């Protein structure tokens, strides 16, 4: 069923939905997801209208076993004209693999806190940021587009509140290294709209344009859509999401599912904001994926559409 769109003032006319399901959505799955399922998931997402689909991460197989098939996935991934297929690279070795696979876009990730950097990369924040800056600069030199992530921007399970000025500093370093876009991550889902407004305002006051920012909200405390709406009001027009609301971070147990792409697109459709995504086709994809994983989808939109006819 289609519902009338009721726009709000001062929101973007179009939003780029950056799909992280095949990477961030699946990386924490306890059971092995077959490569054929991953490839079909990516194909279905593209068919539903997604134009930015992060497909995997080139990490050590022992660190994230679910993504041990990354090289084979990239070798078998069909070309999709007009579709971005970034891959996450944690270090120079990961970048080597991305280049060998013919990747045209990579993502690097930094932490706003020491504790998460140590748990995730076995280095303090300063050293881990220095190393990824080198990766980003080399990737740019090799002609790749580079996206940056900053984790733990609003709260850290070991340190508590995060100083927003530290987030600004890390974002500035990533942009200076050549990142075309930086995604602000609420890794454990503790942000609320006031905190989102405050951080984005601080970033803009520091000279960071909203056109180079994306937001990445986890829905741990049910705040992801509210936080997204506030980010849109601030002018952000790229939003990360995961089909079916899957995901989490294997290095932070309190980081539960991502914002569900279906829930995001349903809200954007209702606001009259263009995405190019067919929410019903997307929901059918997540229902299919839920059957592959053997459990229901946490997305409210997927649950609401579950009784409708589907192929």
Q: How does pLDDT run across 234-248, given as a tens digit for each residue?
A: 999 999 999 999 975
Gap between the Cα atoms of 20 and 246, Å rounded? 9
Average pLDDT over residues 269-294: 96
Question: How much is the CA Rg of the chain, to the nearest whole Å?
Answer: 18
What is the residue extent of each domain of the chain?
A: 16-305
Beta bridge partners of 184: 150, 215
Query: For residue 311, is pLDDT > 50?
Result: no
Instruction: Tell me if 240 sits within 8 A of 214, measured CB to CB.
Output: yes
270 versus 129: the higher-pLDDT residue is 270
pLDDT of residue 247: 78
Query: For residue 253, is pLDDT > 90?
Result: no
User: Cα torsion at 254, 267, 40, 24 (round to 10°)?
Assistant: -20
pLDDT of residue 274: 98
> Which class is domain 16-305?
alpha beta
DSSP code per residue over 231-267: HHHTT--EEEEBGGG---BTTBTT--PBPBHHHHHHH
Gap between the Cα atoms of 110 and 121, Å rounded? 9
pLDDT band at 63 (very low <50, low <70, confident <90, very high): confident
| pTM of the full structure | 0.95
pLDDT of residue 105: 98
pLDDT of residue 252: 44
Average pLDDT over residues 151-175: 95
Query: For residue 31, is pLDDT > 60?
Result: yes
CB under 8 Å, gap of 24 or more: what pairs does 6-11 form? 6/270, 6/271, 6/272, 7/271, 7/272, 7/273, 8/271, 10/233, 11/232, 11/233, 11/271, 11/273
pLDDT of residue 122: 74
Gap between the Cα atoms of 258 and 246, Å rounded? 6
Residue positions annotated with a catalytic role = 249
CA atoms within a 13 Å half-sphere pointing along the CA-CB vector of 144: 29
End-to-end CA distance of the chain: 17
**Three-state DSSP class for residue 216:** strand
**What angle is formed at CA 231 by the lines to CA 235 and CA 145, rounded to 5 degrees?**
70
CA atoms within a 13 Å half-sphere pointing along the CA-CB vector of 84: 19
Instruction: Tell me if 245 sits within 8 A of 213, measured CB to CB.
Output: no
């Amino acid at each position: 069923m289609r519902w009338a769109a009721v726009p709000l003032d001062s929101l973007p006319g179009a939003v780029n939905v950056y799909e992280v399901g095949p990477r961030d959505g699946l990386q924490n799955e306890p059971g092995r997801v077959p490569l054929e399922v991953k490839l079909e998931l990516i194909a279905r997402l593209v068919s539903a209208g997604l134009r930015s689909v992060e497909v995997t991460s080139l990490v050590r197989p022992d660190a994230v076993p679910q993504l041990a098939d990354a090289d084979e996935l990239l070798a078998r991934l069909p070309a999709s004209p007009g579709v971005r297929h970034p891959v996450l690279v944690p270090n120079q070795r990961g970048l080597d693999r991305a280049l060998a696979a013919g990747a045209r876009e990579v993502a690097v990730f930094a932490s706003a806190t020491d504790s998460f950097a140590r748990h995730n990369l076995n280095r303090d924040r300063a050293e881990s940021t220095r190393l990824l800056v080198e990766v980003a600069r080399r990737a740019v030199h090799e002609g790749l587009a580079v996206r940056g992530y900053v984790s733990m921007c609003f709260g850290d399970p070991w340190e508590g509140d995060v100083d927003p000025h530290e987030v600004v500093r890390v974002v500035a370093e990533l942009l200076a290294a050549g990142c075309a876009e930086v995604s602000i991550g609420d890794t454990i889902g503790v942000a609320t709209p006031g905190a989102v407004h405050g951080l984005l305002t601080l970033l803009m006051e520091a000279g960071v344009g909203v056109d180079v920012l994306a937001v990445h909200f986890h829905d741990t405390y049910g705040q992801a859509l509210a936080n997204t709406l506030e980010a849109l009001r601030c002018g952000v027009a790229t939003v990360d999401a995961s089909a079916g609301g899957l995901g989490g971070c294997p290095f932070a147990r309190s980081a539960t599912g991502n914002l569900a792409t279906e829930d995001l697109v349903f809200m954007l459709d209702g606001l009259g904001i263009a995405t190019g995504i067919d929410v019903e086709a997307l929901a059918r994809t997540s229902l299919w994926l839920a059957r592959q994983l053997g459990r229901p989808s946490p997305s409210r939109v997927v649950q609401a559409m579950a009784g409708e006819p589907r192929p």
